[in-house]
Amino acid sequence: MSQHTSSITSSRLEALNHWVAAVAHLTRPDHIHWCDGSEAEAAALRAQMLADGTLLELNQQTHPGCYLHRSTPSDVARVEHLTLVCTRERDDAGPNTHWLAPDEAHAKIDALFDGCMRGRTLYVIPYCMGPIDSPLSRCGVEITDSPYVVANMRIMTRMGAPALARIEREGTFVKGLHSIGELDPERRFIMHFPEELTIKSYGSGYGGTALLGKKCHALRIASWQARQEGWLAEHMLIVGVEDPRGNIHYIAAAFPSACGKTNLSMLIPPEGYRHAGWKVWTIGDDICWMHPGPDGRLYAINPEAGFFGVAPGTDHGTNPNALASIQHDTIYTNVAVTADNQPWWEGLHEGTPVTDWRGRPYDSAHGPAAHPNSRFTVAARQAPSWSPMAEHPQGVPISAIVFGGRRPSLVPLVFQARDWAHGVLVGAAMGSETTAAATGAVGVLRRDSMAMKPFCGYNYGDYFAHWLSFDRPGMKLPQMFHVNWFRKGAGGKFLWPGFGENLRVLEWIIGRCTGAAGAQDTPIGLLPRASDLHSEGLALREGALDELLAVDLDGWASEVSDIGQYLDSFGTHTPARLHAERERIAAAIERARGALPHAKVAS
C-alpha cells in the first residue's frame, strides 16, 4: 500500500496537491497512498489489517465478509468536551458548543500532528457525501493514518476516483485531517473550523471522531455551509411510507439518543397493515440534507452510503431489518464473540458470548460482553427496507418533519404544529427526560433542539433563525409534528407499545398532510382524537389512548415558561419571532386554564 495510485494523480486539483504535501511535511509519513475506492485496494487493506490484528476474521460460514475490530478501551465513544468549534468570533459558535479561537486551536493540534505519522502510511480519501451525481451532495477529502478508517469510509461514503473527479470539476472540498496519534485521551481533540471548511481530529480511532465524513462534515461543517447556501443539514432519519394505493410520503424525523431513531427508519408494519399493503422504505437512519426544490418543496438526501449503528439491543424483535442487513460484509467494532466466532451483543437472543469486547474470556463480573456503544458498519443497500430512491440525484420530497423525545409524562403521543414558526419552536424545545438508572435522578429534562446539540456547527439562536427563514413566499413547506412513544401511566409502564405500532401515528401524520385525517384544536397544537387513530388490533388497556392524548394545562404552563428560559440562554441571537411564538402559546394556555378553572386536564 506504499505506492501512489498513478491512475488518478495526473489531473488532481492543485489546491488538493498542495494541502496533501503540506500535511505530509507536518506529519512525516513513510508512505502516501491516494485511495481509489477499488475492490483491489479494499482487499489489500483488509489483508494488511488481518495480518497486523487491526481486524479479526469472524465466522465466514455464518457471517461471510464480516470482521471485528477492537478499539482501545479508552476510545469507545464521542468526547463532547474535546469537540470544539473554532470560529473567529466566539458568539458565532454560541453557548451550545465548545469554542476555541482558530489560531490557538491550529497551534494546539498541529503540535500534536508534528511527526505523528512516522512509520505509517498517509491515506488520502476523496469522498462524496450523497449520490455522486446529485447537485445536493458535497465533497470532502480525509487524510488519515488509519486503514480501519479507510475501510469504514469506503462503506459510509461514495469514496475514491469518482469523488476525486467531482472535486476536480467543482474545485472545492471540505478538508479533514485525522491521526490516531497515540490513542491517548490526554492528547485528543476534534476541532472544526467552519469558516475554513476544515476539520482536524487527533488521538482517536472511534467512528464519529475518526470517520470525518460523518458527524464532523455531514453535520457540524455542513450546518454552517447550509446556512450560507440556503439549505438544512440535520440529524434526522428519512423514511418513506407507502400506503395501499401506492402513494409514498417521505418523512424526516429527529430524535435524541435512546428514542428509537434507527428502529423507526427501518420500521416493519404491524401484520394488519402489511396485509392491507402498507410498506416502509428506508432512505437514511441518521443524517438528512434538505434543499428547497424549484416547486417550493424541501427535497432530502441521505448524505451517507452506510449505517454506523449501535449493536446492543438489535434483534429480531426490535429491528429485524437492521439485523438482516448485518449478516454479511459488515465491520463490527467492540462486540463480543461466541465459541464459533459469531458476533454477539446484549439483546441478541441467539448465541452465548465466550470472549468480551476487550478480547478477554467473558465474565459477567467484568461488565457487559459487548461494549454498550459497540457498532456495526454496513452498506445501506443491504437493508431489506432500503429504497433505491436513496440514490435519486434530486432527493425525495419531504411531506412531514417529526420531532420526538423520551418524555414519561406531559407530552402527548403526537401533536401537530399550527404553522412553520410553531414547528420551529417545537423542534427548538424538544428534549428527553433522564432516568435514575442513567443519571441518579428521575425526570431531569435535557433539551436537545432538533437533536442537534452535539452537532450544530454554530450558535443555536442563529440556527433557529435559519430554520425560520424558509417560511417565505413560494415555499410549500412540510407539516411539522412532535411524537412521544414513551409516555407512562400511573403504574410506571409505557402506555404505547411502540416499534411497528408507530406506523399508526405515521398514518395520522400523513393523513394530516393530505387533509384526510381529523384533529382537535388545543393550546399546544392539533391532536388526534382517539377516533382519528386507527386502533383496530391495537392492544391497549382501557383508557390508555385518552391518557396518551391528554393535555395537562398546568404542566404545559410550566413547560412553556421553562422553554422561555432556554431560549433566553442564547441571548440576542434568538429570533424575536420565536419568542413571540412562545408567548402566543403561553397566552393560549392561560386562556384555556381560565375557561376551565377546575379542570387540570383537557382532552
Give the model's pLDDT for residue 295. 98
3-state secondary structure of 392: coil
Cell triple for residue 202?
487527533
The three-state DSSP-derived secondary structure of 466-535 is: HHHCCCCCCCCCCEEEEECCCCECCCCCECCCCHHHHHHHHHHHHHHHHCCCCCEEECCEEECCHHHCCC
Report pLDDT digits (tens) over 280-333: 999 999 999 999 999 999 999 999 999 999 999 999 989 999 999 999 999 999
Report pLDDT digits (tens) over 36-78: 999 999 999 999 999 999 999 999 999 999 999 999 999 998 8
Please list the active-site residues: 259
pLDDT band at residue 442 using 50, 70 and 90 as cut-offs: low
392 phi, psi to nearest 5 deg: -70, 125
Report pLDDT digits (tens) over 396-411: 999 999 999 999 999 9
Q: Is the pLDDT of residue 5 over 80?
A: no
Q: Is the pLDDT of residue 271 over 50?
A: yes
pLDDT band at residue 251 using 50, 70 and 90 as cut-offs: very high
Q: Is the pLDDT of residue 7 over 80?
A: no
Provide the CA 26 distance to its chain's centre, in angstroms: 33
Give the model's pLDDT for residue 11. 61
Q: Is the pLDDT of residue 2 over 70?
A: no
**Cα–Cα distance, 466 to 475 (Å, whole number):** 15
Provide the CA 560 distance to its chain's centre, in angstroms: 27
Report pLDDT digits (tens) over 237-246: 999 999 999 9
Contact criterion met (CB below 8 Å) for 414 and 482: yes
* Burial environment of residue 565 by CB neighbours within 10 A (0 to 12, 13 to 18, 19 or more): exposed
3-state secondary structure of 322: helix
Give the model's pLDDT for residue 12. 75
DSSP assignment string, 210-274 = H-TIIIIIIIIIHHHHHHHHT-EEES-EEEEEE-TTS-EEEEEEE--TTS-HHHHHT----HHHH
3-state secondary structure of 170: helix
For the chain, list the domains and their CATH numbers: 6-55+78-229 (3.40.449.10), 234-304+390-602 (3.90.228.20)
Report pLDDT digits (tens) over 444-475: 889 999 999 999 999 999 999 999 999 999 99
236 phi, psi to nearest 5 deg: -140, 145
Mean predicted lDDT score pLDDT of the chain: 94
169 phi, psi to nearest 5 deg: -70, -45
Conformational region of residue 223, where left means phi above 0, alpha means psi within -120 to 50, and beta covers everything else: alpha
Give the model's pLDDT for residue 443. 62
pLDDT band at residue 348 using 50, 70 and 90 as cut-offs: very high
**Cα–Cα distance, 364 to 3 (Å, whole number):** 46
Q: How many residues does the chain have?
A: 603
pLDDT band at residue 490 using 50, 70 and 90 as cut-offs: confident
Contact criterion met (CB below 8 Å) for 56 and 166: no
